[in-house]
Amino acid sequence: MTEHKRRVVVTGLGPVSPIAFGKKDYWQALHDGRNGISSITTFELGDCPVTFGAEIKNFDPSQYMPGKEAKRSDRAIQFAVAASKLAVQDAGLDLSSIDPYRLGVYIGTGQGGIETSFNNFKTMLEKGSRRVSPYFIPMMISNMSTAYVAIVLGAKGPNLCVVTACATSLHSMGEAYHAIIRDDADVIISGGTEAALRAISIAGFASMKALSTKNDDPEHASRPFDKNRDGFVMGEGAGVVVLEELEHALSRGAHIYAEFTGYGTSCDAGHITAPDPEAEGASFATRKALKMAGWDLSQVDYINAHGTSTGLNDKMEAGMINKVFGEHAKNIVVTSTKSMIGHCLGAAGGLEVIASLQAIEENYIHPTLNYETPDPECDINISTGSGVNKKVDRLLVNSFGFGGHNGVLAFERFNK
């Protein structure tokens, strides 16, 4: 007798981004092509060679957690709590009606509490070790975003913090998907959070020559797949979704954004930062997601690309799309949400999944800003200008991180 396979759907969306908070405002901003990149104003940059980013300038953590607790929490934790609460609210979840041991949290982060680490290190050097905050460790360690959300929601089920650089959010969601499939939980709050947009991180990425240096024109700095791209733009925020077992969602009359049908992951195992120029690992992850979803190549309508605006990554990703999909690649609309919100590192994939699922809802694919000069080495079908009106039934979301970490998720319009 074949055991009935559990199905996973998305029932709640919680974005905290440089262009908007909450599903409705975030989607409107994406639809309108709002640019969240500008000169940095909320912290001192010192002599950093890059002076702009996709900064969240109007975030008040006391709207989502008690002020006392906010002061004891790193900004990454604050973003995670806010995004999780927004997602749970959007899903209409009555947490008191859920067995707490069937409710999980899988929220990853690329750099964790880097601001907390920097500030306390500075304090120790200037004032001595006895002045280091007693909250330093719980504010800094990467898993605390996941733990804190679990405490706030009363979630006693599986709890995991994935750390795979820029692939963090997708790996978090993929592992949450598997946990629900194998009956470890009925609901998992999943995604990524990042608050690394600070001078120390900017200095590090700038030293690697990974960042755009368009200080005099920040709004045009993030230009994924454009021939004149010169590096990525750092962003910050959190993207969290509610993943739910299908029958559990139907039993409570939940709104279903899409069904989560496939997850592919791999490692290039080649270089600490550069992607495999032959795109073997990314291609494997894509084919794995497609196989799990049970799709033919011709069924993919849309790809929300990793699209970082860096020379090597965009070239690799475009090459992968053409390599995997062949002639059908020209029919697939490709976007990069990073053109508006910058690269939010561990939170990037979460925010991009939210953008993608709303494309299914609205039958509209948001534009990629600043795509002006086509690159012959990135010969794919980019959504530009005012976006694309198109029915989206099946889509992929890509994330590729330093260390060669690859993640691809597959979502489709829900059908009973």
Residues acting as catalytic residues = 166, 306, 343
Residue 5 half-sphere exposure, CB side, CA atoms within 13 Å?
A: 7
Q: What residue type is 378 in one-letter code?
A: C
Instruction: Please give the Cα distance from 305 to 413 (Å, whole number).
Output: 19
Nearest to 173 by CA among 403, 366, 352: 352
Contacts of 14 (CB under 8 A, 6+ apart): 22, 23, 82, 83, 84, 85, 86, 87, 88, 89, 90, 191, 238, 239, 240, 241, 242, 354
Backbone angles phi, psi at 191, to 5 degrees: 160, -145
Instruction: Please give the Cα distance from 165 to 399 (Å, whole number).
Output: 10
Largest CA distance in the chain: 68
Q: Residues 338, 169: contact at Cβ < 8 Å?
A: no
DSSP for 250-315, please give it. Answer: HHTT----EEEEEEEEEE--S-SSSPPTT-HHHHHHHHHHHHHHT--GGG--EEE----S-HHHHH
Q: What residue type is 157 in one-letter code?
A: G
Instruction: Please give the Cα distance from 343 to 92 (Å, whole number).
Output: 30
Structure letter (DSSP) for residue 128: -
Instruction: Please give the Cα distance from 59 to 359 (Å, whole number).
Output: 26
Instruction: Please give the Cα distance from 303 to 365 (Å, whole number).
Output: 10
Backbone angles phi, psi at 53, to 5 degrees: -175, 180
